[in-house]
Structure 1
Amino acid sequence: MAQACLRCLKLVMCAANFLCFVCGISVLGLGIYLSVNFKMAALTPSMADFSVAHVLMITGIVITCVSFLGFLGALKENRCLLLTFFLMLFLLMLAELTAACLLLTHEISDLKKDLQEGMKKAQQQPKNATLTDWDLIQSTLHCCGVVNASDWGQNVPDSCCDGPCIKVNPNYYQQGCLHVLKGFFEDNFLYIGIAIIVFCIIEVLGMCFAMTLFCHISRTGLGYKL
């Protein structure tokens, strides 16, 4: 009975990590596509090296590496890979909790200042840039500028237009992106918290499964030994 349960646990770990591996490859591919085909600029100077494309690529690489270790470690009953998988999941969970705490403690005034500095840098980008993070945010969230369209001065991007962008009396979005982002986090605060908790639970389960297989292999003398 115990052997059957462990075999089932091994198959579950292999299947779950294979699905995560496929998702990681997809996210990585999307990040590479955006990086190659679009000129991306970060919203804030504090995240100058982390545009949407860069974040997607880093996320895809992390998911792919961690899931590959879990899949191969469970499939081959490799103690070294299982232990590495356990440690990487633990570090990933700590990073997620740290990021969540920083997000919750980040002052709105600091965010406004960061967005304003990021907008100044975006205005210095070449005019032939087909897409920036600002264009993506403004067209997706239906907002314009930090406070309103006047933040862009005389060079308001087309992504601020509510519908077709005309030169005479253009119909810009009335709300600034700071207000929309603040409202988004306030309205979805509960869901964001639940999502973080769910991810942490999944990671804890993955660590428990990995350690269970690791201990079983240690007791039986199977698999690769450290």
Structure 2
Amino acid sequence: MDILQINEIQKARKMKNDVKIKILKYFLSLFNGIFLIIGAIIFGCGIWILWDENSFIGTLLPTDHEDILSVSAYCFLAIGITVTIVCFVGCIGSIKEVKHLLFLYCLFLSLIFILQLSIGLAVLSQYSNIETLLGKKTIEAINHYVNDSFSKELKWNFLDLIQKEFQCCGYYNSSDWERNDLIGSTSLPCSCSNSTVDTSTSLCTITENTYIYPQGCSTHMKQWLSGNVATVLVAAAALLLIEVLQFIMAVNLFKSIKIKENY
């Protein structure tokens, strides 16, 4: 094989490598854009948790556990900001073909992957405890309904909203309201029936014509919880898959740039 043939082979390999670099740059930028959008959504969730006092878990969460919600919100904010920084590093590293930035990009992706996987496993392991806490705090809110000494009237309004929206009464059934000493045997929250709610009072008198919703709210609340947890886990799984693809493409781009420098 003469020198001309060797040069032609090297030229063909260089062209093939250049095309590979362009393709990797394109898809890495595409996945970085998706990753950035997801990061913005996560950041928005953190803002929503901090500003929305009427959130489902926030309303029923006990006062001594409210810091957990704040910590979770700040974790979302931190993840959103970190994802933005990682995307920026990845874009600059791929566009400018800077190997050190691509290495740093892969390192950040690995750390985020491990963190997300740990959080997902933690949520799954604590799901039953979260479900139990949700029922416990709902029963507590029922027991203290219309009691001025209770911590937040917001919890009463939220119970009314759940019962009216899902047409249910109590957590297990309407007999849960018998636990409340301030509610007589002839009265129930107006939201427990199809009666028109009187804005001047939370309670309605039960008559023979009053229709009380027979089903408790536990099923609907558990369905809400499981649905949201499932959504979060599916989104997390999709994000993990994207991170794996980003890592693979970044490693290949790193190798291709290294090969290009040797020509």
Q: CA deviation at 1:176?
A: 3.6
Larger of the two Rg values belongs to structure: 2
Tell me, yes or no, if the aligned pair for 1:17 and 1:70 is still in contact at 8 Å. yes
Residue 98 (structure 1) aligns with: 118
Q: Which of 171-180 and 54-63 deviates more?
A: 171-180
| Superposition pairs of residues 45-194 of structure 1, within 5 angstroms | 48-50=67-69, 54=73, 56-106=76-126, 108=128, 110-115=129-134, 125-127=151-153, 147=172, 150=176, 153=180, 165=197, 167-168=203-204, 174-177=215-218, 180-181=221-222, 185=226
What TM-score do the two structures reach when normalised by structure 1?
Answer: 0.62
Note if 1:204 corresponds to 2:223: no
% identical equivalent positions: 24
One-letter code of the match for 2:43? L
In the alignment, the residues of structure 2 paired with residue 140 and residue 74 of structure 1 have an alpha-carbon distance, to the nearest angstrom, of 51
One-letter code of the match for 2:68? D
User: Deviation digits for residues 121-172 of structure 1, max 9, x if unmatched?
Assistant: 9x8554369x98x899889988777656748956999998889755426966
Residue 30 (structure 2) aligns with: 15
Partner SS, residue 49 of structure 1: helix
Partner SS, residue 68 of structure 2: coil
One-letter code of the match for 1:213? L
Gaps of 5+ in 2: 1-15, 145-149
Tell me, yes or no, if the aligned pair for 1:70 and 1:81 is still in contact at 8 Å. yes
Q: Is the alpha carbon distance of 1:22 and 1:200 closer, same or farther for their aligned partners in structure 2, counting shifts above 3 Å?
A: closer
User: Deviation digits for residues 165-184 of structure 1, max 9, x if unmatched?
Assistant: 55426966934447743697
Tell me, yes or no, if the aligned pair for 2:17 and 2:256 is still in contact at 8 Å. no
Tell me, yes or no, if the aligned pair for 2:166 and 2:217 is still in contact at 8 Å. no
In the alignment, the residues of structure 2 paired with residue 80 and residue 158 of structure 1 have an alpha-carbon distance, to the nearest angstrom, of 65
In the alignment, the residues of structure 2 paired with residue 21 and residue 163 of structure 1 have an alpha-carbon distance, to the nearest angstrom, of 48
In the alignment, the residues of structure 2 paired with residue 35 and residue 25 of structure 1 have an alpha-carbon distance, to the nearest angstrom, of 16
In the alignment, the residues of structure 1 paired with residue 195 and residue 79 of structure 2 have an alpha-carbon distance, to the nearest angstrom, of 33
Q: CA deviation at 1:35?
A: 2.8
Partner SS, residue 77 of structure 1: coil
Partner SS, residue 69 of structure 2: coil
In the alignment, the residues of structure 2 paired with residue 136 and residue 36 of structure 1 have an alpha-carbon distance, to the nearest angstrom, of 20
What TM-score do the two structures reach when normalised by structure 2?
Answer: 0.56
Residue 3 (structure 1) aligns with: 18
Tell me, yes or no, if the aligned pair for 2:169 and 2:212 is still in contact at 8 Å. no
Note if 1:213 corresponds to 2:253: yes
Q: Is the alpha carbon distance of 1:178 and 1:218 closer, same or farther for their aligned partners in structure 2, counting shifts above 3 Å?
A: farther
In the alignment, the residues of structure 2 paired with residue 159 and residue 51 of structure 1 have an alpha-carbon distance, to the nearest angstrom, of 31
Gaps of 5+ in 1: none
Partner SS, residue 6 of structure 1: helix
In the alignment, the residues of structure 2 paired with residue 114 and residue 57 of structure 1 have an alpha-carbon distance, to the nearest angstrom, of 25
Tell me, yes or no, if the aligned pair for 2:17 and 2:260 is still in contact at 8 Å. no
Q: CA deviation at 1:195?
A: 5.7
